[in-house]
Structure 1
Amino acid sequence: MLQNPKTAPVTAATADVNEGSLLDEGALLEERRAFSQILGLDDLVSEEVMIAALTHKSYAQNLLVARRSAPHLTRLLQNPPQPAQEKRIPALELVSRAATSLARWSATGFSTVDEATYARRLEACRACPNLIAPPDRQATLYRLAGAGQAERTVCAKCGCVVKNKARRSTDTCPAPDPDNPGLNFWGEPLPAPAR
């Protein structure tokens, strides 16, 4: 079984989850035990991870998907989403980024990566704590770009639809991998800083 890198002791504090409902210490401990068992962990998930899983449905789904992949599960356990962390990228900036990405991609004749690279990139994206559902305020833009509203398909770091971004040979993941300096979450070299 996988060891949980962020096991935390139970505190006397209660957690506010789902619009005012409270979990007392005993209920939270039982939830942590059950969820740890489902994930195949030897240790309890931390309170922070459990609360994030209860309040972010997509984070819980990503943990379940990643439970058979120790590196991805470890990354998710070490980086639970924070309530104020979700960043909304302005619509004008999204359009600008999309146009820039499309221009770069068209310059290569719309080249794509091979299927193995695409599958590896998508697996990393699905286990990434930055994967979010398309923001409601920008639903039309994301639908046009191919994102499904019912699933988590958008990168909170760059605003891209991950299934499209992962396919393009000219795109790269913007998030540095904390376990591998110089690489992104896709396991590829980070781009050189602009001068």
Structure 2
Amino acid sequence: MAGFQLAYRGELLAGVDEVGRGPLAGDVVTAAVILDPRQPIQGLADSKQLSETRREQLAEQIREKALYWHIARASVAEIDSYNILQATLMAMARAVDGLAVEPEYVAVDGNRMPRWRYTSETVIKGDALVPAISAASILAKVCRDAEMCQFDQQYPGYGFAAHKGYGTAQHREAIAQLGPCPIHRRSFDPVRSMLAASQRQLR
């Protein structure tokens, strides 16, 4: 993370990231984290580059040591209604709005941010460059992965615990065999195409 500097140098910096834009099922989950400079957390990195065990260890430290953190989401219904980008931006705004204190500055992973009142900047690959964004990435992923494991029990046969809702060959085959379940995104293919084909057959 050396060599990169945000425009902000104070302590009330909120990092924001999302998990779950690409999957065929489940909510998009976001987190906002304000780290405590007096309690640094070693090993923060892009959540996708960490093992499941390491993510869970770091998530526990973040929840204990961060000054403030909040997890938010946009539902499958909102994703289907507004599109995944707008739903993600809504979830990001909810994550920051849910913090117990208003941040002085917000750093958002990626190149898009919500329209909001906060002074902020986007950071490409921010989850590898800004520790607060890394922390947000970790919290969001640990939360969403746990939820998908719960859905694996609720909706057996789809393999949610393994692929976390992403469009793997196994997942697509399960959708073709079982049809979509309530947590599948109707606006995403192949679910959308399958439902459209079913409607044509009914006419």
- TM-score tier by shorter-chain length is under 0.3
TM-score (norm 2): 0.22
User: Normalising by structure 1, what TM-score?
Assistant: 0.23
Kindly indicate which of the two structures has a greater share of residues assigned to strand. 2
